[in-house]
Structure 1
Amino acid sequence: MPDSLRARLRGVLVTRYGQLRRKLEYIVGTGERASDALQETWLRLESMPGNTAVRNPDAYLLQMAVNVATDQYRREHRKLNDADIDALFDVEDELADPERIVAARSEIIALEAALRQLTPRQREILLAAHIDGQLNREIAARLDISLSLVEKELRHALRHCQQYVGAPADMAARGGPRRF
């Protein structure tokens, strides 16, 4: 990135810090995350490619900070990989009595049956959201469907699985919208 563009973006970041922080806080949910993301954005300006074209510095910096915040959130809420999961299966559960084991296996069998009853799209959306950790908007883009359809199909899939397994009916509504 040319030094003049870098200096201009840093100047915008300094002069509009409060405004950018408020917008980012609304998006990410907390002032602390917003501040952290803006600090990281300042640092990332150094490593930007030289051929970057910026028409709207405010929008560019806000999007850059949102991307940073998303990366930070994903790092903090990283899912376990397959090796971690396998290692957890090897941990001996002192409280695992035969009755609990049978009940857990029954729930797994019921959940597998419930998943088989979903439409392929509902199953794909549910697994992408809750196993792969994808955002609803990412799922919508990948499947080339609307965000509202993803949300509707996800709610339906969750309700179906919860009813089939016997989970409390209000569990689908507990989480609220996913911000990331």
Structure 2
Amino acid sequence: MSDTSRAQALRKLLVSRYAYLAKRLERVTGSKDGAADALHETWLRLESANIATPVANGDAYLLGMANNVVIDQHRRERRHEHDEDAELLLDVPDELADPERIVAARRKVESLKDIMRGLTPRRRAILIAARVEGLLNREIAEQFGISLRLVESELSAAMKYCLKRMQETGDPYAGSTAGPRKF
């Protein structure tokens, strides 16, 4: 039996056992329409299928093929839903791009730069190494040739000084001390 004749035999079996196969697929898809769509797609796939070996159980073969069709359809739908979600997110306005917020953030950075000029050069360098460059205290101690305890003390003093000065300038977010820090 040739590949095309095996496919034709399976198509004939699909037609003769359609009601049974649809009922079985209905359990998988959850709907009659979903089962009918899967069987229709299976019919179309059988038209171009190369079935090299004899099929022992035609019903099982057709149901397996239809199950694969259902899985493929489900994946396509999920991918499409994710694309729609991405498009919706692209339409959401960026609140951080508000011109007033940008100007306020730039002012805050300039204010912090001015405050940091009041630190001793070593404290300023340690603060920048810790909070801007994200270096570990151990790395800072090695870089400056000082003890780990002294790094911790200088960093603490620098943070307290900057926080106090920012609060004096009326910064409502002066309590935030977060930064790119690896502890």
Q: What is the TM-score of this pair, normalised by structure 2?
A: 0.44
Q: What is the TM-score of this pair, normalised by structure 1?
A: 0.45
